[in-house]
């Protein structure tokens, strides 16, 4: 997993703005809010890739590099690192791209694993035809 590089690595899967309701008592955005945005971004990528529903099974690694403030535009970049029989491991980077006059800054990175599931929530095998695209 790459951290503090100059450019985001992966596909832009989600972009949103940090709002006052997302902050703690010191005015910084809750880490949990950022993790939930990353989870959504990873799920979007995993579901598009596996052509169906996916559930988060693990967050294996997570680091917060700098705080996020209200009004910051955060961009979640996702990159599939590994595809198993039912699981998809995704690297997720979050970048703060609020200020157009300055280069975007990486705020966090994490390694998430999703499992392809059917409509009943049971794991499903990712088709070989889909895996071939990885
Ligand atoms: C997703 C779910 C259906 C998987 O069923 P399961 O019987 O537990 O699945 P398995 O233990 O066989 O693991 C499935 C895959 O995930 C991988 N996996 C399991 N635990 C893992 C972990 N801690 N880290 C990384 N990968 C993991 C397995 O290696 C396997 O991969 P593969 O099929 O590609 O080889 C089930 O665990 C579940 O419903 N979990 C809750 C999901 C959820 O609600 N997520 C939202 C969080 S609130």
Measure 128 CA to ligand 1 centroid, in angstroms.
Answer: 19
Q: Which atom of ligand 1 is nearest to the CA of 60?
A: 24
Question: To test ligand 1's pocket by mutation, which of 47, 84, 115 has the most ligand atoms within 8 angstroms of CB?
Answer: 115
**How many separate helices (H) and strands (E) can be counted in the chain?**
2, 5
CA distance linking residue 16 with residue 75, whole number of Å: 7
Which residue ranges in the chain fall short of pLDDT 50? Answer: 4
Measure 97 CA to ligand 1 centroid, in angstroms.
Answer: 33
pLDDT of residue 91: 98
Locate the domains of the chain by residue range: 11-131
CA distance linking residue 37 with residue 24, whole number of Å: 16
pLDDT of residue 1: 58
pLDDT of residue 133: 85
Distances, alpha carbon 102 to alpha carbons 19, 98, 125, in Å: 21, 9, 44
Tell the residue nearest (CA) to atom 17 of ligand 1. Answer: 87
- The CATH fold assigned to 11-131 is Thiol Ester Dehydrase; Chain A (3.10.129)
pLDDT of residue 103: 83
8 Å CB contact between 77 and 93:
yes
The neighbouring-strand residues paired with 113 are 58, 89
């Amino acid at each position: 997993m790459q951290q503090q590089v100059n450019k985001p690595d992966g596909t832009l899967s989600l972009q949103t703005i940090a709002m006052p309701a997302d902050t703690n008592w010191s005015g910084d955005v809750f880490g949990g809010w950022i993790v939930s945005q990353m989870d959504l971004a990873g799920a979007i990528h995993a579901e598009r890739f596996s052509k169906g529903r996916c559930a988060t099974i693990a967050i294996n690694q997570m680091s917060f590099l700098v705080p996020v403030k209200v009004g910051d535009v955060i961009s979640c970049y996702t990159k599939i690192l590994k595809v198993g029989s039912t699981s998809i491991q995704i690297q997720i980077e979050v970048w703060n791209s609020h200020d157009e006059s300055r280069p975007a800054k990486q705020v966090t990175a994490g390694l998430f694993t999703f499992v392809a599931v059917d409509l009943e929530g049971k794991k499903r095998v990712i088709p070989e035809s889909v895996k071939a695209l990885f």
